[in-house]
Amino acid sequence: MKILGTTALAGALLAASFAFAPAPAMAGKADDTLNAAFALEPEALDTYKIAGREGLILARHIYDGLLYKDLDTGEIKPALAKAWRFVDPMTMEFDLREGVTFHNGAKFTADDVVYTLTTVLDPAYGTRFRIAVDWIDKVEKVSDFQVRIKMAKPFAGAVEMLADALPIYPAAYFKEVGSAGMAAKPVGTGPFKLTEMTPGIRYAFERFDGHYAGSPKGKPAIGKIVVRTIPELNTQFAELMAGKLDWTWRIPPDQAARLASRVQIVNGPIMRISYVGMTVTGKGKDYPTKNLKVRQAINHAVNREAIVKAFAGGASQVLNTACNPKQFGCAQDVTKYAYDPAKAKALLTEAGFANGVDIEMVFAAMPRPVAEAIANDLGKVGIRTTLNEQQYAAGVQKWRAGELPAFFTNWGSYGTGDVAFIISNFFGGGADDLVQDKEVMELVNAADTSQDRALREANYAKALKKIADQAYWLPMYDFNINYGLSQQLTFKPHPDEFARWWLSSWK
Amino acid sequence: MLPFLARRLIVAALVALAVSAVAFGLMFVSGDPAVVLAGQAGRAQDVELIRQVYGLDRPIPLQFLSWIGNAFAGNFGTSLYFNLPVAPIIAERLSVTLVLGSAAFLLALVVAVPLGILASLKPGGTIDRIALMLAVLGQAIPSFWLGLILIVIFGMWYGLVPISGTESWQGYILPVVVLSYYAMPALMRLTRAGMIDVLTADYIRTARAKGASQPRVLLVHALRNAVLPLVSLAAVQFGLMLSGSIVIESVFAINGLGRLAWESLLRSDLPVVQAIILILSLIYVTLTTAADLINAWLDPRLRSA
């Protein structure tokens, strides 16, 4: 807390000093180098072992996938595969692009696709998220420039996954050096090649002039990128204003407002949403959240509009469903719970808690003030909430063990615009599903395994409607990100939290 | 002196081993490392797979024994986060920390000891009051805040030094100043108190009566006895500086050992955390042992203790 206090103090002083700061010098434009900073250290640049966004962003500059999703149009475009088709409902066939070269000079062929995907498919390889690859049964070479992927199960998210999330490594090099070698010296076909790396600290990239013509990523306008880790946000701001940084992100709303007069601030919504999950099954414990009326009371008691306005700012908005409206299948025609403390009290009385009720809410990876605001609103209607802040890992472990009546946290859907990547996890009957509503489970599973978009949409809509009717969640709001940019940089944010520096240019 | 040294070295090694074992256990008590590694988007099945792939499903004592065995053979394993060997990562960060910590420690000593001596000459006098005020400020101002103020003034307004990073030697200037200012007050106060105490002793009066000059009385006769507690404190302070101030490393984006330890702890990067704990505990026991040896050399009466 002491650190927080001094941060605020120093931040205020820093903000006050903005007026005296000299005008920012030309940052990286002069030497055509985009200087970027993250607060968190990127992971090893073997995409299949990365969980954090920072490493994934860097990896997408180095590697390409078979397909590419243009987030501006929602269209899936050909990338390393120039065409693809479903041969049957469980088999995808890809015609590969010829004349593509890896950063080490190796030529791209079907062998690279087969070896890469077959290797990361093996559980012993330790691919971080099984959801990314467990739908693949096997990958077969048809010819030097044609491959087939046989699916292990019907999976609606297959195409999304192939769009840049499953990059192709150079087979011979990958075979020789393995995952650790790829992490130490990554080689891909992407628009940038890594020229220098101090792991976690500094990464230098250079535009790859051999990047294949016709790539949906296009030819980058900027020649070089240097990414550094600067953990302290105030230090990042000082660098940004002194003209030594061109790009940074995740700037808190209040700081963004202060910085806006000195640097470019760009705000954009993202796929990540916050929510309060409620335990319905309880695994032997008699939580008040088992009672529908209590859950409805919780939904009516929290003034989400005010919370979003006060804490989230930017493009964030209140949610009514257990997903992000930007995702495919995120139906909005559901029961909405307006802020109504009187109704919440009445519902609580009907539930048999006229004198109020005690509840524990663990929160993780969410700001304490927001958790306190929720607890305060709940307290006003008689839901006395004990707040308990935990690291995400500790919180989710307790949640899975059924030891928490309520868990306030967030979920990013892997940055993917399809509800399969959120409600299947929380309502599909898995370890994170502490509702175990059979009807919802069936609807979700049917939608997840179908390629019929209309059927999927209808099933998800029915599931989301029931989730809202039963008030299984208190959906809170979707997030937005403030990017701090040098005045010379053109950068477009995307809701999947992947910075696409290959699309950036100097003004 | 030799048996004394041998005894101390054995104790030091045992302490380092015990600290490593406790730290290993605590990593598991504080939360399941597999869940942390799976990340926020990790599902239950991802956690299970990680547990198997990284061998986290083996009994904890067995994991510790295999780690310590490898460590003794010079193999610190592979970082789970960076997927790279631990030793070069730590070597990289340790070199930064050694430069920063040593420079800050020397600066603190060079300023604090003379200032303490000067302040002790006339307790309550002008120099004494200035010195004490500086000490109070040093203790009261959070190093975090001081760091940011210096960044604003010297990095932003005047552009004299880099704001962050240690890519050039100038990058060390501000963090060294801030880190040393943090260590100075205690060193200064202890020097001052020790000197005030010693300067009233009979043997100093005798030395003066024999006609010894003021510098000789202060530096040869008084200081040798006054610094005994200072040596012990300095060892601890130096250890603190080498274990790295996470706060200062964060503010100046210095990638030293302290921040690596902190970040690795948060992301449950067991091999890295364990290696750092072993190294730091060895540094601490070495420093305190060195302090004891210096004190034993300064005051022969301590050798029988």
**Residue A283 reports pLDDT greater than 90:** no
How large is the average pLDDT for residues A406-411?
A: 96
**Residue A3 reports pLDDT greater than 50:** no
Calpha distance A338→B208 (Å, rounded): 87
Which of B26, B28, B40 is best to mutate for the A interface (most A CBs within 10 A)? Answer: B40
B90: closest chain A residue by CA: A199
Structure tokens at A119: 């290797």
Mean pLDDT of chain A: 92
SS3 A333: coil
**Residue A23 reports pLDDT greater than 50:** no
Calpha distance A166→A157 (Å, rounded): 12
CB A230 within 8 A of CB A221: no
Structure tokens at A452: 């019929």
Instruction: Read off φ and ψ for residue A241, nearest 5 degrees.
Output: -75, -25
Q: Which pLDDT value is given to residue A499?
A: 96
Contact status of A201 with chain B (Cβ, < 8 Å): yes
**Residue A228 reports pLDDT greater than 80:** yes
Task: Provide, as residue numbers in chain A, all residues whose Cβ is less than 8 Å from the Cβ of B139.
Answer: none
Bridge partners of residue A271, in order along the sequence: none
For A425-457, write each residue's pLDDT tens digit.
999 998 899 999 999 999 999 999 888 889 999
Q: Identify which of A2-16, A486-500, B224-238 has the greatest average pLDDT.
A: A486-500
For A339-392, write each residue's pLDDT tens digit.
999 999 999 999 999 999 999 999 999 999 999 999 999 999 999 999 999 988
Structure tokens at B238: 């130096």
* Whether A238 and B156 lie within 8 Å, measured CB to CB: yes
The whole-angstrom distance between B95's CA and the closest CA on chain A is: 14
Q: Which amino acid is at A108?
A: F
* Whether A128 and B50 lie within 8 Å, measured CB to CB: yes
- The distance from CA B221 to its chain's CA centroid, rounded to whole angstroms, is 30
Q: CA angle A348-A350-A356, nearest 5°?
A: 30
pLDDT band at A6 (very low <50, low <70, confident <90, very high): very low
For B109-153, write each residue's pLDDT tens digit.
999 999 999 999 888 899 999 999 999 998 888 888 999 999 999
Instruction: Read off φ and ψ for residue A181, nearest 5 degrees.
Output: -70, -40
**Residue A2 reports pLDDT greater than 50:** no
pLDDT band at A313 (very low <50, low <70, confident <90, very high): confident
SS3 A215: coil
Looking at the partner chain, which of B49, B89, B142 has a beta carbon nearest the beta carbon of A130?
Answer: B49
Beta-carbon contacts below 8 Å between A and B: 166
CB A359 within 8 A of CB A303: no
Which A positions 113-132 lie with beta carbon below 8 A of chain B? 123-131
Instruction: Read off φ and ψ for residue A77, nearest 5 degrees.
Output: -110, 155
Task: Provide, as residue numbers in chain A, all residues whose Cβ is less than 8 Å from the Cβ of B245.
Answer: none
How large is the average pLDDT for residues A256-285?
A: 91
Residue-wise over A446-460: b if at least 16 C-beta within 10 A, else e?
bbbbbeeeeebbbbb
Calpha distance B146→A365 (Å, rounded): 29
Where do runs of H (alpha helix) occur along A381-452?
392-400, 423-427, 438-448
pLDDT band at A8 (very low <50, low <70, confident <90, very high): low
pLDDT band at A12 (very low <50, low <70, confident <90, very high): low
* Whether A242 and B252 lie within 8 Å, measured CB to CB: no
Residue A250's closest CA among A263, A265, A260, A238? A265
Q: Which pLDDT value is given to residue B303?
A: 66
**DSSP secondary structure letter of residue A212:** P
* Whether A238 and B152 lie within 8 Å, measured CB to CB: yes
Q: Which pLDDT value is given to residue A14?
A: 56
**Residue A294 reports pLDDT greater than 50:** yes
Task: Provide, as residue numbers in chain B, all residues whose Cβ is less than 8 Å from the Cβ of A399.
Answer: none
* Whether B83 and A22 lie within 8 Å, measured CB to CB: no
Residue A369's closest CA among A308, A279, A297? A308
pTM: 0.87
How large is the average pLDDT for residues A7-36?
A: 65
Looking at the partner chain, which of B36, B149, B163 has a beta carbon nearest the beta carbon of A244?
Answer: B163
B157: closest chain A residue by CA: A21
Residue-wise over B28-55: b if at least 16 C-beta within 10 A, else e?
eeebbbbbbbbbbbbbeebbbbbbebbe
* Whether A46 and B83 lie within 8 Å, measured CB to CB: yes
Task: Provide, as residue numbers in chain A, all residues whose Cβ is less than 8 Å from the Cβ of B255.
Answer: 198, 200-201, 229
How large is the average pLDDT for residues A316-335?
A: 95
CA dihedral over B136, B138, B143, B146, signed as positive or negative: positive
Three-state secondary structure of A106-157: CECCHHHHHHHHHHHHCHHHCCCCHHHHCCEEEEEEEECCEEEEEECCCCCC
For A104-150, write each residue's pLDDT tens digit.
999 999 999 999 999 999 999 989 888 899 999 999 999 999 999 99
* ipTM for the complex shown: 0.84
* Whether A235 and B247 lie within 8 Å, measured CB to CB: no
**Residue A282 reports pLDDT greater than 80:** no
Residue B305 CB coordination number (10 Å): 9
The torsion angle over the Cα atoms of residues A504, B161, B96 and B261, rounded to 10 degrees, is -60
What are the DSSP calls for A434-503, one per residue? SS--HHHHHHHHHHHT---HHHHHHHHHHHHHHHHHTT-EEEEEEEEEEEEE-TTEE----TT----GGG
Contact status of A401 with chain B (Cβ, < 8 Å): no
Q: E-strand spans in B164-286?
A: none
Return the residue matching tokens 């072993």: B278
Positions of chain B with pLDDT lower than 70, given as ranges: 1, 30, 244, 303-305
pLDDT band at A16 (very low <50, low <70, confident <90, very high): low
* Whether A129 and B89 lie within 8 Å, measured CB to CB: no
Q: CA angle A431-A436-A440, nearest 5°?
A: 115
